[in-house]
Amino acid sequence: MGDPFGLIGRWLIDLVTGWGMEPEAALTLLRFLGAAILATVLLLACFFLIVAERKILGRFQDRYGPNRVGPWGVFQTVADFVKLIGKEIVVPDGIDKPVYWLAPLLVVMSVVGIWAVVPFAPGFRGTDLNVGVLYIVSIGAIGTLGIIMAGWSSNNKFALLGAFRAVAQLVSYEIPMVLTLLIPTMLAGSMGVTAIVEAQKDLWFIAAAPLAAAVFLISSVAENGRAPFDLMEGESEIVAGFNIEYGGLAFGMFYVGEFLHAFTVGVLFSTLFLGGWRGPGAETYPLLGLFYFFAKALVVWFVTVWVRASFPRVRIDQLLALNWKFLTPLALVIVALTAVVDKLAAEQGWSQLLALLAANAVLALGMFAVLGAYGRSVRKREDSLRGNAAALPARSAR
Amino acid sequence: MHDPWVFVAFLLPIGLLLPAVAVLMGILLGPRKPNAIKGTTYECGIETVGETWVQFRASYYIFALIFVVFDVEAVFLFPWAVAYNGMQLYMVLEGVLFLLILAAGLLYAWRKGALEWV
Amino acid sequence: MTVLQIVFLVTGLVTLLAGVMVVASPKLVHAALWLIVSLAGVAVLFVLLNANFLAVVQVVVYIGAIAILVIFAVMLTRRVMADSGPTHNPTWWLALLSALVLFGGLLALITQLPAFGATEAALPAADSLTDLGTSLVDVNRYLLPFEVASVLLLAALIGAMAVARPASEDEEGGA
């Protein structure tokens, strides 16, 4: 049980070199097969992820969720897929054809591309880029491009409006996400995702930087376009937004991209802050590492589904105010404070972990104090706007 | 040397190809009965009014501008963060100074009302 | 012909072709998208030069921020989707001629370099990122340009807001 993944890889290479291929070409073939299998497994896994989410949402809403197709409804998405294939993709007139058809492909590609740098288990990963964290950000930016292409090429003012608002949201929330990504980079001393998981040997980074982890999770959920930030495709708001004019499987690809991204958010959070595949016994038994990896990712994913079921949708101005007036200044302060406190603690010989925890606690208290004061000032302003004596007894009666 | 990128070079085109195959399946297997009404633009079930354009709102562009500045700033900070462990305190403070100058810029934008969604 | 050379040639050709399509596309949005292809080609060239960090920065900043800004500018200022800018400049042959002359001159200069003609360049070690980080805050190296860059970004932010902001209430009240 030493290293099953390395074993399979070596067996494949020996097999192919036995047929007369050079070892270099064999390695390249192995990589190609790995990429093909990864992409296929990801897209197929969506079938079950979507059903799981619908059933969980159903339970949150005190109902069953889909339970007709297959045992406990597990084949529901397969049925949906077959239905979507049979639907006509109604292509409107006046669209920009190459851009229209390329957009859903880019959105899916941007999510699948993120998985290239994620370490599933010790020694088992797509690849190990030394700039992994920025690579993840860059591939995510391509998804934003896909959305703007979809909105523009549809020749529909709602699609265009939806695309603008979607891009404003995606682009704004990228800033706190990128800023909080500086924290694992600082603590691990490298941008490589594998190195960040290696550095969490003694301590998961969420213990050293809980506020940064929270800000990262919130901005990732907003980047994904999940509730409460799902303005990009709110049905009652803007009639499906940028993907109005997409039907059948073209729409299906946007849908798949969004759900896969939701799971990817769970994977990224657990890799960067919860130690990825780390757990008791993971180094000696890599399969155990794989299990820990998926367990942590599923827990975080469940939390995002929980949030989706619990919060109402946020308005666009509230959305942007939350980002630029709260999350971004908070992220800037977190980075500055963590950098200074950690270096100070290291130089003075204090316990770095305790110093960071203390700094985070002070920052959290300060944040709540500021939010409380802001809330009070808003309430006071609203009461003074109502202004008359009739308002006062109503308040004191409460 | 370029070893790590080979996998990415394979994964990205495959990630583009698989949904292309799915969409192609949809086009080939689904019915295709275009008619004049189906081809019109969707506007909540009524006839479209006016050309397809959106009122110019400066706020979209301003948010994108602010994003560009902060994106470049964050990218400058990444090498500093990578070299963090071997740095001394004054070097860390210099990076924090870089960050604070731009935080001042954000504060300026806030006070000037550029962060309002008008 | 090693694989690296083939990849380099193909990427270079794609980048050049995309650059030509930027100026030759009738629709402005298509021109913006060809620009993105060209920028992605440059990112691949950075990867071939073993500059991983610059490659991802190219994608994050140029494609993820600046290209989106350009597309926004095009979409917000053009009323009709099929609107196209002027495509045919009567003196395009003059521009082509001067570009070819410039290219010939650069080629003549580069061929005189001693390292020209080697099949495999001596690329730097892959892990220069830590060195880059310390050099940015080292007083003897790039500290001053680093801090000046932040002041430059601040100036860009303030300038952009001053230009793009709609009229404030003071101006409306005074007018």
Residue with the bigger pLDDT between A362 and A246: it is A362
What pLDDT band is residue C172 in, cutting at 50, 70 and 90? Answer: very low
Radius of gyration of chain C (CA): 22
Residue-level pLDDT at C170: 43
The answer to whether the Cβ–Cβ distance between A186 and B84 falls below 8 Å is: yes
Q: Residue A189, SS3?
A: coil
Q: Which residues pair with A92 in a beta bridge?
A: none
Average of per-residue pLDDT across A352-356: 85
Place of tokens 């316990």: A351
Whether A64 maps to a domain, the answer reads no
Alpha carbons A66 and A74: distance in angstroms, whole number: 8
Residues 6+ apart with CB under 8 A from A149: A99, A100, A102, A103, A106, C33
Residue-level pLDDT at A222: 92
Residue-level pLDDT at C83: 57
pLDDT at A334 over 90: yes
Residue-level pLDDT at C59: 94
Give the number of domains in chain A.
Answer: 1
Alpha carbons B69 and B71: distance in angstroms, whole number: 5
Residue-level pLDDT at A164: 84
Ranges A139-143, A244-248, C15-19: which has the least confidence? A244-248
Alpha carbons B71 and B93: distance in angstroms, whole number: 21
Tokens coding C28? 């402005």
Residue A20: burial class (beta carbons within 10 Å; 0-12, 13-18, 19+): exposed
Whether A304 maps to a domain, the answer reads yes
Whether A60 maps to a domain, the answer reads no
Beta carbons of A173 and A223 less than 8 angstroms apart: yes
Q: Does C79 touch chain B (CB under 8 A)?
A: yes
| Exposure b/e, A56-85, CB count within 10 A at least 16 = b | bebeeeeeebbbeeeeebbbbbeebbeebb
Q: Which range of residues forms the domain containing residue A235?
A: 93-348
Residue with the bigger pLDDT between A295 and C85: it is A295
What pLDDT band is residue B103 in, cutting at 50, 70 and 90? Answer: very high
Residue-level pLDDT at A211: 92
Residue-level pLDDT at B81: 92
Radius of gyration of chain B (CA): 25
pLDDT at A388 over 80: no
What residues of chain B, 8 to 47, have a C-beta less than 8 Å from chain A? 8, 10-12, 14-16, 18-20, 22-23, 25-27, 29-34, 38-44
The 10s digit of each residue's pLDDT in C20-48 is 999 888 888 888 999 999 999 999 999 98
Residue-level pLDDT at A116: 92
Alpha carbons A122 and A169: distance in angstroms, whole number: 36
Nearest Cα of chain C lies from the Cα of A137 at a distance, in angstroms, of 7
pLDDT at A396 over 80: no
Residue-level pLDDT at B43: 62
Whether A54 maps to a domain, the answer reads no
Residue-level pLDDT at B86: 84
| Exposure b/e, B71-91, CB count within 10 A at least 16 = b | bbbbbbbbbbbbbbbebeeeb
Alpha carbons A171 and A193: distance in angstroms, whole number: 23
* Reported pTM: 0.90
Cα angle A348, A354, A356; round to 5: 85
Count of CB atoms situated within 10 Å of the CB of C74: 17
Whether A297 maps to a domain, the answer reads yes
Beta carbons of B11 and A39 less than 8 angstroms apart: yes
Q: CA separation (Å) from B63 to A171, A181, A323, C161, C168?
A: 8, 21, 11, 10, 17
- Tell me which residue of C52, B36, C36, B90 sits closest to A149, measured CA to CA: C36
Residue-level pLDDT at B48: 60
Count of CB atoms situated within 10 Å of the CB of A381: 9
Residue A96, CB-side half-sphere exposure with 13 Å CA sphere? 24
pLDDT at A335 over 70: yes
Beta carbons of A246 and B19 less than 8 angstroms apart: no
Residue A303: burial class (beta carbons within 10 Å; 0-12, 13-18, 19+): middle
Count of CB atoms situated within 10 Å of the CB of C82: 13
Q: Does B112 touch chain A (CB under 8 A)?
A: no
Alpha carbons B7 and A353: distance in angstroms, whole number: 37
Residue-level pLDDT at C126: 58
Residue-level pLDDT at A219: 94
Q: Does C60 touch chain B (CB under 8 A)?
A: yes
Residues of C in contact with A141 (CB under 8 A): 59-60, 63-65
C1-9's contacts with Cβ under 8 Å and 24+ in sequence apart are C2/C119, C2/C120, C4/B2, C4/C48, C4/C120, C5/C119, C7/C44, C7/C48, C8/C45, C8/C48
Q: CA separation (Å) from A336 to A182, A341, B8, B58, B99?
A: 10, 9, 33, 31, 7
Whether A42 maps to a domain, the answer reads no
- Tell me which residue of A71, A60, A2, A84 sits closest to A304, measured CA to CA: A60
Whether A116 maps to a domain, the answer reads yes
Alpha carbons A117 and A127: distance in angstroms, whole number: 5
Residue with the bigger pLDDT between A126 and B107: it is B107
Nearest Cα of chain C lies from the Cα of B68 at a distance, in angstroms, of 5
- The rounded mean pLDDT for chain B is 83
The 10s digit of each residue's pLDDT in C48-105 is 888 889 999 999 999 999 999 998 888 777 655 555 656 667 888 898 899 999 999 9
Tokens coding A1? 């049980």
Tokens coding A194? 């594998």
The 10s digit of each residue's pLDDT in C149-166 is 999 999 999 988 888 766
Beta carbons of B12 and C41 less than 8 angstroms apart: no
Residue-level pLDDT at C123: 65
- Tell me which residue of A367, A385, A386 sits closest to A375, measured CA to CA: A367
- The rounded mean pLDDT for chain A is 85
Ranges A102-106, A261-265, C75-79, C161-165: which has the least confidence? C75-79
Residue-level pLDDT at C173: 38
Residue A394: burial class (beta carbons within 10 Å; 0-12, 13-18, 19+): exposed
Best mutation site among A128, A152, A153 for testing chain C: the one with the most C CBs within 10 Å? A152
Can you name the CATH fold of B5-111? Methane Monooxygenase Hydroxylase; Chain G, domain 1 (1.20.58)
The 10s digit of each residue's pLDDT in B30-64 is 777 777 767 666 666 555 666 656 666 778 888 88
What pLDDT band is residue A186 in, cutting at 50, 70 and 90? Answer: very high
The 10s digit of each residue's pLDDT in C93-151 is 898 899 999 999 999 998 888 777 666 666 666 567 888 888 888 888 889 999 999 99
Q: Does A152 touch chain C (CB under 8 A)?
A: yes
Residue-level pLDDT at A29: 86
Residue-level pLDDT at A251: 85
Phi, psi of A63 (to 5 degrees): -140, 175
In the B/C pair of chains, how many CB contacts fall below 8 A? 143
Nearest Cα of chain A lies from the Cα of B114 at a distance, in angstroms, of 10
What pLDDT band is residue A180 in, cutting at 50, 70 and 90? Answer: very high
The answer to whether the Cβ–Cβ distance between C72 and B54 falls below 8 Å is: no
Beta carbons of B16 and A109 less than 8 angstroms apart: yes
Q: Does A137 touch chain C (CB under 8 A)?
A: yes
The 10s digit of each residue's pLDDT in A39-72 is 999 988 888 898 899 899 999 988 888 888 888 7
DSSP codes joined into one string, chain C: --HHHHHHHHHHHHHHHHHHHHHH-SSHHHHHHHHHHHHHHHHHHHHHTT-HHHHHHIIIIIIIIIHHHHHHHHHHH-SSTT-------TTHHHHHHHHHHHHHHHHHHHTTSTTTT-SS--PPPS--HHHHHHHHH-TTTTHHHHHHHHHHHHHHHHHHHHHHSPPPHHHHHH-
Alpha carbons A65 and A73: distance in angstroms, whole number: 8
Average of per-residue pLDDT across B83-94: 89
Quick one: three-class SS letters along C51-71?
Answer: CHHHHHHHHHHHHHHHHHHHH
Whether A377 maps to a domain, the answer reads no
Residue C6, CB-side half-sphere exposure with 13 Å CA sphere? 3
| Exposure b/e, A150-162, CB count within 10 A at least 16 = b | bbbbbbbbbbbbb
pLDDT at A79 over 60: yes
The answer to whether the Cβ–Cβ distance between A135 and C67 falls below 8 Å is: no
Ranges A121-125, A185-189, A270-274: which has the least confidence? A121-125
Alpha carbons B18 and A118: distance in angstroms, whole number: 20
What pLDDT band is residue A160 in, cutting at 50, 70 and 90? Answer: confident
